Structure 1
Amino acid sequence: MKDSIPNVKDSIPIVDTVKKVDTVKEVIWKMTPVPEKDMGNVWHSIFRPHSPIEGGNTEVRDTRVHLTLLPAGGYTLQTGTAAIISGNAAFYTDRSPNGKMSNISSSVTYSQYQQWIVPFTSNIWTKGNKFNIITDIRYIKYPSSIYGLGGRTDPNKGYTINFSNLKFHQTIMKSLSEDMYVGVGYFYDKFWDIKGLDKVSRQTTAQMKKELGKQEVASGLAMRFSYDSRLNQINPKQGTYYNITYRSSDKAWGSDSTWNSLTIDARSYVEFPKRSRNVLAFWMLDWMTTNGVPPYLLLPSTGWDDQYNTGRGYIQGRFRGKNMLYFESEYRFRISRNGLIGGVGFINIQNFSSDLSQQYARIFPGYGGGIRIKLNKYSDTNLCLDYGFGQNGSRGLFVNLGEVF
């Protein structure tokens, strides 16, 4: 009889209260916000440990200018070892919730290959986001390798050329409706002192041979249409960006040849998972020659987009053609809860038309990962250190101040 009575203890499920409490604590810990930190806070805690640290609400919009300066040494596939001084300034002209962050960036780079790279770029939003003024000025003095046209070129048979380049692109965009803009710009590019440093080879196309020892000027108007719902272009966390640029280079504007190009740039940013502050980002770039033939050094090419960021995993200029199709996806995640350290993983593919035809050759993938170090929590500026891999043993380090896209 005693044996037939069930053991009450065995028949009632036992709840692991300790584990349950720990789980609740973990959830609360994850949901409790922590103050954002950047390298300024780290510097302060090391060298001024007894003075209070300015907290600052990173969500509050003010009209102060937030500066980020970075003197550093580095190494990339294109420059080798290089000394770099870079900086950006970020600010709001409008304190409303929909006000977009304006930014000005510049740097000076000198490399072991005696390269000089001096860009100055700005993206200014006026009050109420009524106008968007975009400036892109760059001076480059380069030895650089070229590998021929299309996707069937040998990575071990590059041809080194030297040249100087001045770029001046200025655009003014007017708001049509919320986040939608249309505008006109003037684009000027000049290449001079174009010299071959190696023996002429098959990689030196007939077009490039004609340009050696000369200068090339491309000058003309550009029409732009864009939709931009991002609030911060330095480090986008949300929104969508579309930009269509039609460029006309005409002898009437001082250009050495007449040609037209069309660039379609599309980007999207999604928080994933929700409320994680991690971001899944997508980027598509179509860069096409619609009429005529641009100078060789202005043909669509790896790493020669406006920000020089396409094709992580390959050296700048590795592929070149009349048309370029490009896609990249990147996952950005926090490593530290305070945002000081983060990481990314990325994949990309690129495809170029063969020679100067419309026929596309092979698809070339790239992939890799990197670390993010928060330099300025107010502008959300990161130091981006990425290592990328491509085909045929291509690999290298890629450095940016601000996100790649």
Structure 2
Amino acid sequence: MLLLFLLLCVCSQVYSQVPVPADTLKIDSLNEAHRQVEDLSGQYDIGDLVRAVLFPKRPPVPKNRKSSGIIVVPNIASNPTIGSQIGIKAVAGKKFGNDPNTLLSVGATSASITTKGIIYFYISHNIYTSGNKWNLQGSLVAAKTVTPDYGLGIGKGSDKSETDNILANPGRTPRVLRAQFYNFREKVYKEIKKNLFAGVGVSFDIRRKIDERDTANSLTPYNIYSDRHGFPRDHYMANGLLFNVQYTTRDNQNRAYKGIYADAGFRVNQTWMGSTKSAVQFTTDFRKYVGLSTRNPAHVIAFWNWGSYLVSGAVPYLELPGTAKDPGSRSGRGYTVGYFKGTKYNYSEVEYRFPILRNNFISGVMFFHLQTANDEIGTKLFQEWQPGGGGGLRILFNKVTRTNLCLDYAWGKYGAKGFFLGLNEAF
């Protein structure tokens, strides 16, 4: 309610207290490459609004005062799958060392509980040391989950057998899987050339007490797949080694105005690490940001492609790549997590980002995406596509780190639609 009240006050506060900048960029003379850095004096965020509404007589914050890079917000949501959710979420950003070329380091944590008994806790980080010599990426998750399942593949039916048709689930009839989920992932990258990193890491994915208690028939996509590939129905582990190469020229990790990000690597699940089955997966992640205005760099066209491909072995059903199974769980807005999935999966999205207010306090986005996956009834990768799209608003929470509150409405096929709330951009 406080956030709603503050937003209602924005029209009377924003333009009266913030001058329109003649130019939003200035040159940092310390940077020999003349790298551009933001002038924040003409921007307005939630912190400015809170001070203007709650402390109108307090003197404005001096321009040379260092602002905090920490954001804490309630984590509130409601939908038929999870019930009503309450929790807290925090995001932080900081640059380490004195090298002006050092990329922004970001971290996040969240804890929440829902009326349907879902409990979720995570910590994640993406840290660059001074001069970008090292990059550390990792996360820790502990959760009691309720996962809607819509079958394997991209929604294409089969006339071969009833079992195959149940597995592919062309009508997208939802089932629900409950489980305990634990994940630990850590990757360490070393800069081997300017903007180019090589990395290694580990990932442990553990699910216990997997249960489809609402399903009387044992012929479900999860059970059919698990039986075919030799996974126990009630538990499994997918533990492996990670080998990656990364190239990045993004100017900001939270909301890039320019540059590219590319990461490619192999995940090698090993039974000697406790994995139920061995497997090799190849994953790619490519993002490109094109600025459309030199006067206001917040006008951006962003492109994203993410893919994961099984090379050998077998991957557990709930760990198959698919909708919102990217590292940030932000792909496929309009669909729930894992709505489409397969042993091979590819996702593409384009998004237009634009300011609405001249001080960037409120901005907007429009996006469109396509998904494709294989299945076990003959559908190949890139043979069938499923679209989705939508639009939304951005509220600038912290101008120092470019942290936005993201409010999106998106829709797709099969009547899929929804409202999505998050911190930071989808990509």
Do both proteins adopt the same fold according to a TM-score greater than 0.5, normalized to the shorter chain? yes
Distance 1:266 1:78, change over 3 A: farther
Instruction: Tell me the distance in 2 between the aligned counterparts of 1:273 and 1:370.
Output: 21
Size of the alignment, in residue pairs?
374
Deviates more, 1:367-376 or 1:212-221: 212-221
Using the TM superposition, give the Cα deviation of residue 211 of structure 1 relative to its aligned residue in structure 2, in angstroms.
4.8
Q: Is the 8 A contact 2:20 2:359 kept in 1?
A: no
Distance 1:344 1:55, change over 3 A: farther
Residue 187 of structure 2: aligned partner: 171
Distance 1:29 1:86, change over 3 A: closer
Q: Given residue 128 of structure 1, which amino acid in structure 2 is its aligned partner?
A: G
Instruction: Tell me the distance in 2 between the aligned counterparts of 1:321 and 1:191.
Output: 19
Instruction: Tell me the distance in 2 between the aligned counterparts of 1:32 and 1:65.
Output: 24
Using the TM superposition, give the Cα deviation of residue 155 of structure 1 relative to its aligned residue in structure 2, in angstroms.
4.8
Instruction: Tell me the distance in 2 between the aligned counterparts of 1:373 and 1:77.
Output: 26
Instruction: Tell me the distance in 2 between the aligned counterparts of 1:358 and 1:188.
Output: 30
TM-score, scaled to structure 2: 0.83
Residues 29-48 of structure 1: pairs in structure 2 closer than 5 A: 31=22, 35-48=42-55
Residue 17 of structure 1: aligned partner: none
Instruction: Tell me the distance in 1 between the aligned counterparts of 2:337 and 2:238.
Output: 21
2:411 matches 1:389? yes
Counterpart of 2:102 in 1: which secondary structure? coil
Using the TM superposition, give the Cα deviation of residue 76 of structure 1 relative to its aligned residue in structure 2, in angstroms.
5.4
Instruction: Tell me the distance in 2 between the aligned counterparts of 1:52 and 1:65.
Output: 18
Instruction: Tell me the distance in 1 between the aligned counterparts of 2:128 and 2:350.
Output: 27
Q: Is the 8 A contact 1:94 1:100 kept in 2?
A: no
Distance 1:183 1:330, change over 3 A: same
Distance 1:307 1:373, change over 3 A: same
Using the TM superposition, give the Cα deviation of residue 274 of structure 1 relative to its aligned residue in structure 2, in angstroms.
3.6
Residues 110-121 of structure 1: pairs in structure 2 closer than 5 A: 110-121=113-124
1:245 maps to which of 265, 273, 280: 265
Distance 1:399 1:328, change over 3 A: same
Deviations 1:248-279 (A, max 9, x none): 00112121110011110000111113433211
Instruction: Tell me the distance in 1 between the aligned counterparts of 2:81 and 2:253.
Output: 25
Deviates more, 1:149-158 or 1:290-299: 149-158
Instruction: Tell me the distance in 1 between the aligned counterparts of 2:187 and 2:149.
Output: 30
Using the TM superposition, give the Cα deviation of residue 205 of structure 1 relative to its aligned residue in structure 2, in angstroms.
4.4
Instruction: Tell me the distance in 2 between the aligned counterparts of 1:147 and 1:270.
Output: 35
Deviates more, 1:260-269 or 1:134-143: 134-143
Instruction: Tell me the distance in 1 between the aligned counterparts of 2:377 and 2:291.
Output: 40
2:226 matches 1:208? yes
Using the TM superposition, give the Cα deviation of residue 203 of structure 1 relative to its aligned residue in structure 2, in angstroms.
3.3
Using the TM superposition, give the Cα deviation of residue 154 of structure 1 relative to its aligned residue in structure 2, in angstroms.
3.5
Q: Is the 8 A contact 1:192 1:215 kept in 2?
A: yes
Instruction: Tell me the distance in 2 between the aligned counterparts of 1:212 and 1:255.
Output: 12
Using the TM superposition, give the Cα deviation of residue 196 of structure 1 relative to its aligned residue in structure 2, in angstroms.
0.8
Using the TM superposition, give the Cα deviation of residue 115 of structure 1 relative to its aligned residue in structure 2, in angstroms.
1.4
2:319 maps to which of 295, 298, 308: 298
2:414 matches 1:398? no
Q: Is the 8 A contact 1:161 1:196 kept in 2?
A: yes
Using the TM superposition, give the Cα deviation of residue 78 of structure 1 relative to its aligned residue in structure 2, in angstroms.
5.2
Instruction: Tell me the distance in 1 between the aligned counterparts of 2:78 and 2:61.
Output: 34
2:296 matches 1:289? no
2:114 matches 1:98? no
Using the TM superposition, give the Cα deviation of residue 393 of structure 1 relative to its aligned residue in structure 2, in angstroms.
1.4
Residue 379 of structure 1: aligned partner: 401
Deviations 1:117-138 (A, max 9, x none): 2121101111111000111211
Counterpart of 1:150 in 2: which secondary structure? coil
Counterpart of 2:426 in 1: which secondary structure? coil
Instruction: Tell me the distance in 2 between the aligned counterparts of 1:273 and 1:38.
Output: 21
Using the TM superposition, give the Cα deviation of residue 399 of structure 1 relative to its aligned residue in structure 2, in angstroms.
1.6
Using the TM superposition, give the Cα deviation of residue 371 of structure 1 relative to its aligned residue in structure 2, in angstroms.
0.7
Counterpart of 1:362 in 2: which secondary structure? coil
Counterpart of 1:45 in 2: which secondary structure? helix
Using the TM superposition, give the Cα deviation of residue 202 of structure 1 relative to its aligned residue in structure 2, in angstroms.
4.4
Instruction: Tell me the distance in 1 between the aligned counterparts of 2:200 and 2:102.
Output: 23
Deviates more, 1:225-234 or 1:213-222: 213-222
Deviations 1:314-365 (A, max 9, x none): 1112111111011001111111111111110000000010228672352000
Instruction: Tell me the distance in 2 between the aligned counterparts of 1:78 and 1:261.
Output: 30
Using the TM superposition, give the Cα deviation of residue 30 of structure 1 relative to its aligned residue in structure 2, in angstroms.
7.6
Greater C-alpha radius of gyration: 1
TM-score, scaled to structure 1: 0.87
1:180 maps to which of 187, 191, 196: 196
Q: Given residue 300 of structure 1, which amino acid in structure 2 is its aligned partner?
A: P
Instruction: Tell me the distance in 2 between the aligned counterparts of 1:29 and 1:220.
Output: 52
Q: Is the 8 A contact 1:322 1:357 kept in 2?
A: no
2:238 matches 1:218? yes
Distance 1:247 1:77, change over 3 A: farther
Distance 1:29 1:130, change over 3 A: closer
Q: Given residue 125 of structure 1, which amino acid in structure 2 is its aligned partner?
A: Y
Q: Is the 8 A contact 2:78 2:85 kept in 1?
A: yes
Residue 25 of structure 1: aligned partner: none
Distance 1:112 1:279, change over 3 A: farther
2:74 matches 1:54? no
Q: Is the 8 A contact 2:23 2:296 kept in 1?
A: no
Residue 341 of structure 1: aligned partner: 362
2:337 maps to which of 316, 326, 333: 316
Instruction: Tell me the distance in 1 between the aligned counterparts of 2:50 and 2:246.
Output: 40
Residue 199 of structure 1: aligned partner: 216
Distance 1:236 1:29, change over 3 A: closer
Instruction: Tell me the distance in 2 between the aligned counterparts of 1:232 and 1:95.
Output: 17
Gaps of 5+ in 2: 1-18, 25-40, 157-168
Coordinate RMSD, CA, aligned: 2.2
Gaps of 5+ in 1: 1-27
Instruction: Tell me the distance in 1 between the aligned counterparts of 2:316 and 2:75.
Output: 34
Using the TM superposition, give the Cα deviation of residue 37 of structure 1 relative to its aligned residue in structure 2, in angstroms.
0.9
Distance 1:29 1:217, change over 3 A: closer
